[in-house]
Amino acid sequence: MFLNRLSNEQKELFLDLCIHASKSNNDFNDEQKQTIDQYCDEMHIDIRYEEKNDLPFIAGRLTEISSEQDLRMILLETAALLLSDNVYDSDEKKFFTALTDKLGLAKEQTDEVIGMINELTEVYSRINGFVFGE
């Protein structure tokens, strides 16, 4: 949704972040890969499923080169990825909370962002029901 606004370096770092997020609960599944595919398409970068950088480097570099608005976009899109398989377990929650902290964003934003993504998912479900008569 917002990823095309990122710089090329931010896009590659975000992709690394997505891979780490997807592996955070040891279940890098097809739904997450499909979301990563969509993200790469939106960012106009090559699809990959192996990270190039470790998480401390990614978080540090993103905070160096990104505005707070960029970091909020990254947080929102990471939440959408974590929820793409309709599972948000304790390992993913721990990862997301730590990410919010590493990016220097308020802890309250973790629950707010997850709530917004859940609301958006519900709206999409209702729209699909309306369009397809479900």
Residue positions counted in the chain: 134
What pTM was estimated for this model as a whole? Answer: 0.92
Give the CA distances from residue 58 to residues 11, 85, 88, 117, 127, in Å, rounded to whole numbers and listed in that order: 11, 24, 22, 23, 36
46: Cβ contacts below 8 Å, ≥ 6 apart: 40
In whole angstroms, what is the distance from residue 15 CA to residue 9 CA?
10
Measure the CA–CA gap between 66 and 2, rounded to whole angstroms: 14
pLDDT above 90 as % of the chain: 88
Please state which of the ranges 8-17, 19-28, 43-52, 106-115 shows the lowest mean pLDDT: 106-115
- Among 66, 79, 73, 53, CA closest to 10: 66
User: Which CATH number is correct for 3-132, 1.10.3680.10, 3.40.190.10, 2.40.50.100, 3.40.720.10?
Assistant: 1.10.3680.10
Domain ranges of the chain: 3-132
Q: With cut-offs at 50, 70 and 90, classify the pLDDT of residue 18.
A: very high
Contact of 117 with 46, CB cutoff 8 Å? no
Output the CA–CA distances (angstroms, integers) from residue 23 to 15, 16, 32, 33, in the order listed: 13, 11, 10, 11
What tokens appear for 90 in the block?
């304790």
CA angle centred on 36, ends 34 and 41, rounded to 5°: 95
Q: What is the pLDDT of residues 71-103, one digit of tens each?
A: 999 999 999 999 999 999 999 999 999 999 999
